[in-house]
Amino acid sequence: MSKVTVIGAGNVGATCANVLAFNEVADEVVMLDVKEGVSEGKAMDMMQTAQLLGFDSTLVGCTNDYAKTANSDVIVITSGIPRKPGMTREELIGVNAGIVKSVAESALKYSPNAIVVVISNPMDTMTYLALKSLGLPKNRIIGMGGALDSSRFKYYLSQALGCNANEVEGMVIGGHGDTTMIPLARLATYKGIPVTQLLSKEKLEEVVKATMVGGATLTGLLGTSAWYAPGAAGALVVESIIHNQKKMIPCSVALEGEYGESDICIGVPVILGKNGIEKVVSLELNAEEKELFAKSAAAVRGTNAVLKEINVL
């Protein structure tokens, strides 16, 4: 029996759990939250759609009862707080680092063989924290960011092309941030046709810029962070693992010399299967893309340095 635990039943976590159940990715999906009644209520609400939507997965909610998460194949971590007015970056990282480390350690006590998928922000840094503090092999620590950023990139490409988004291929590598992500316009295609042949350089630059501020655009419209696409992106990563689909998905993973970087978790394309990261895919980047990737890695390292400054690592 397959089982997935989603820690954090906020908007992103609940959406992820809902998509996992609706698509019957796992036999059982457990949502855990610190707030009394939230995960239980959302799980019950979702289960009441089972006969309406026709899925057979079971959803369970619990408040800090990690025993109910036992024997999970995948643990998805969405816990953390958004940055509040007046809060420094160091304070945000400090709070979220403590939360992520604590919930991951608690869950792994009951599911020592689980693969960990990190959604909590700052995502690359929280993935690095998980890698360094949990003692798991690198193939079992995965940050979700690239899956979401690539989905947004394909959305903006499809809008520019006036085509079906499912017929567009494209990916985003680098850090999961407005200034650190790298949409690879040169490699994007529409039904095998390079988009560089279909869109002007100016239009492609617009698409790239829109992708990079995609999260901020939604926050401006909604007044809070987005959740439908982030939750679904997390579910996509989990599905490739649980069903051993071996899909190529950009994710934040530990590099050991690939792309010229080491001792960092950052977005690159990987093959995801039952063992988590089955392979890091090496792309032939041009000189400009290599320079952008190096700058992105430097920025991510700058954020990672805060972990040592606040004595989390």
289 touches 182 (CB < 8 A)? yes
Tokens coding 189: 């295609």
Cis before 82 (ω within 30): no
Interatomic CA distance for residues 167 and 272, integer angstroms: 21
Q: What is the DSSP letter of 282?
A: P
Interatomic CA distance for residues 283 and 161, integer angstroms: 25
- Helix, strand or coil for residue 205? helix
- Active site members: 176
142-174 burial, b if ≥16 CB within 10 A, otherwise e?
Answer: bbbbbbbbbbbbbbbbbebbeeeeeebbbbbbb
* Strand-strand pairing, 58-63 and 168-169: unpaired
Helix and strand counts by DSSP (H, E) for the chain: 10, 14
